Amino acid sequence: MGAQPGEMAGKRAEMMKMAGDSAWQGSVSHSASPPRHPAVTFFERVITHMAVALRLNRQGTKDRPYYKIVAVDSRKRRDGRYIEQVGTYDPLKEGVNYTVDLEKADKWVGVGAQVSETVNSIIRKARTAASKAEA
């Protein structure tokens, strides 16, 4: 008759302990994630770990599109979860059909976000409108 599997493990552990503390290194740290520096904010972690894009996020219903201008991880799907909303764009509206928070847009472009062609065009229009309003 052989020993049960649980008994073998227990005997093996006893033998390792008898061999001395240097041979018994049974405790290995398996932390889920490395410790973070407390001064690092969520925004800084996002920027260093993903490619961010400023692009349109489609809302609305069939044949009635409405878009949010968002900062998003470029690997996410078009209408997936986004990091921050920067503005809106309504292609069905006449006249000025967009709103853009230029401070937020500048923040994301300043940290290296890639801007889509359409969003870049909307931001350019918003800048010219803002400069005309100041003058």
Alpha carbon distance 4, 7 (integer Å): 5
3-state secondary structure of 3: coil
Would 17 be classed as within a structural domain? no
Alpha carbon distance 38, 74 (integer Å): 27
Would 26 be classed as within a structural domain? no
Which residues are 85's β-sheet partners? 70
Count of domains in the chain?
1
Would 45 be classed as within a structural domain? no
Alpha carbon distance 51, 71 (integer Å): 10
Return per-residue pLDDT of the chain as tens, 135 residues: 555 655 656 666 666 566 555 544 555 555 566 665 566 666 566 555 568 999 999 999 999 999 999 999 988 888 889 999 999 999 999 999 999 999 999 999 999 999 999 999 999 999 999 998 887
Boundaries of domain holding 64: 51-134
Would 27 be classed as within a structural domain? no
Would 23 be classed as within a structural domain? no
What CATH number is associated with residue 124? 3.30.1320.10
Would 46 be classed as within a structural domain? no
Would 75 be classed as within a structural domain? yes
| Residue with tokens 């489609």, as numbered in its chain | 58
